[in-house]
């Protein structure tokens, strides 16, 4: 075969091969996009429920029944999406990448108290209206419940178990996204998860493992003072991933309640996680302070 025709043959071969492969792959990607999105969303909801410390088999129904997206303004007041005139899914799509903490209206998820009736009655609860409410509900819910009995027909589980705050930050390689669940007292952690990360497999990626995440439970995001009390307005806010084990390094000091065991070999990921909590929780401080005040003043 003469040289030029050989080159032509090679080029044609490569072109056809690449074209066929590309065609097949793009078809596959198009066909699988919907199930992939679904799987991702499902996983994200599951992680949110884990952060809220809710164990369930029926993730979609429980999510619909017990988790309600809300907004927090700069002064720490709770605003519903309806009041703010925002659409949840557009809001989510627009700000998902950069996180919600720096927005004037920040995303937060309310965890409704388990009410068996509601789960049975509205397994999807899609068209549910978000009733008017503000932060005060969580403290004086019983009094308000009686007064606002009209909205109880829409939504029975009026008591709030806690809140889930979306967290984002930067790990060693890429952005990391997660959730942290906080009890209604505004400081005790219900759970924490990371649903999207690309850290080093086997090292930093361990932040996504339940074995590591389970130690978050009952930690305090407001550092407890030396007198054993929490000063919500002044205490350092966040959770620190330390080098080594908390029990060995900090022992019983109040700091231990706000510290997490580090993962050896993943110091930078740990630093990213610490920064993510500090940066994302700080804008919620006014809201958390109100929760704390209400908690202290309410009988429980």
Partner 1 sequence: MDKQPSLKNYLFDPLWKNNQILVAILGICSALAVTVTMQVALTMALSVTFVTAFSSFFVSLIRKQTPDSVRMIAQLAIISLFVITVDQLLRAYLFDMSKTLSVFVGLIITNCIVMGRAESMAKNVPPIPAFLDGLGAGLGYGSILLLVGAFREIFGFGTFFDMRIIPENWYATFTHPDRYVNIGLMPLAPAAFFLLGLFVWINNLLTKRD
> 15, 17, 58, 74: which one contacts partner 1 (CB under 8 A)?
17
184 touches 161 (CB < 8 A): yes
Rg from Cα positions in the chain: 24
Phi first, then psi: give them for residue 202, nearest 5 degrees.
90, -20
| Of residues 27 and 129, the one with the C-beta less far from partner 1 | 27
Query: Cα separation of 48 and 153, whole Å?
Result: 26
Q: Does 39 bind partner 1 (CB under 8 A)?
A: yes
> 103, 175, 208, 250: which one contacts partner 1 (CB under 8 A)?
208
Report CA torsion sign: 218, 223, 224, 230. Answer: negative
Binding to partner 1 (CB under 8 A): which residues in 174-203? 198, 201-202
Phi first, then psi: give them for residue 164, nearest 5 degrees.
-115, 125
Q: 224: which 2 tokens?
A: 């407890």
Residues touching partner 1, count (CB under 8 A): 24
Mark the segment that binds partner 1 (CB under 8 A) among 38-46, 97-105, 107-115, 225-233. 38-46
Write down the least CB distance from residue 29 to partner 1, Å. 6
Write down the least CB distance from residue 18 to partner 1, Å. 6
> 52, 160, 205, 235: which one contacts partner 1 (CB under 8 A)?
205
Q: 218: which 2 tokens?
A: 């009952």
Helix (H) or strand (E) holding 142: helix 141-147
107 touches 69 (CB < 8 A): yes
Q: Does 13 bind partner 1 (CB under 8 A)?
A: yes
Binding site for partner 1 (CB under 8 A): 6, 9-10, 13-14, 17-18, 21, 24-25, 28-29, 32, 35-36, 39-40, 42-43, 198, 201-202, 205, 208
């Amino acid at each position: 075969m003469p040289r030029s025709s050989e080159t032509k043959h090679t080029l044609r071969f490569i072109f056809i091969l690449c074209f066929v492969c590309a065609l097949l792959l793009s078809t596959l990607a198009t066909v699988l996009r919907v199930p992939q999105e679904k799987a991702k969303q499902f996983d994200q909801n599951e992680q949110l429920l884990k952060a809220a410390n809710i164990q369930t088999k029926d993730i979609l129904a429980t999510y619909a029944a017990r988790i309600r997206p809300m907004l927090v303004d700069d002064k720490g007041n709770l605003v519903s999406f309806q009041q703010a005139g925002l659409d949840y899914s557009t809001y989510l799509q627009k700000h998902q990448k950069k996180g919600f903490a720096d927005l004037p209206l920040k995303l937060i998820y309310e965890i409704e108290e388990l009410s068996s009736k509601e789960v049975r009655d509205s397994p999807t609860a899609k068209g549910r209206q978000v009733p008017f409410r503000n932060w005060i509900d969580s403290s004086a819910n019983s009094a308000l419940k009686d007064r606002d009995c009209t909205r109880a027909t829409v939504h029975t589980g009026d008591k709030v178990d806690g809140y889930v705050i979306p967290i984002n930050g930067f790990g060693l390689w890429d952005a990391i996204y997660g959730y942290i669940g906080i009890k209604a007292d505004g400081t005790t952690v219900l759970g924490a998860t990371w649903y999207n990360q690309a850290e080093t497999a086997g090292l930093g990626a361990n932040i996504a493992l339940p074995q590591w995440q389970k130690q978050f439970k009952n930690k305090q995001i407001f550092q407890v003072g030396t007198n054993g009390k929490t000063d919500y307005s002044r205490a350092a806010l966040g959770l620190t991933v330390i080098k080594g084990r908390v029990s060995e390094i900090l022992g019983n000091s109040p700091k231990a309640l706000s510290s997490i065991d580090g993962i050896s070999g993943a110091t930078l990921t740990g630093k990213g996680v610490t920064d993510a909590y500090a940066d994302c929780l700080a804008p919620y401080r006014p809201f958390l302070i109100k929760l704390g005040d209400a908690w202290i003043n309410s009988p429980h």
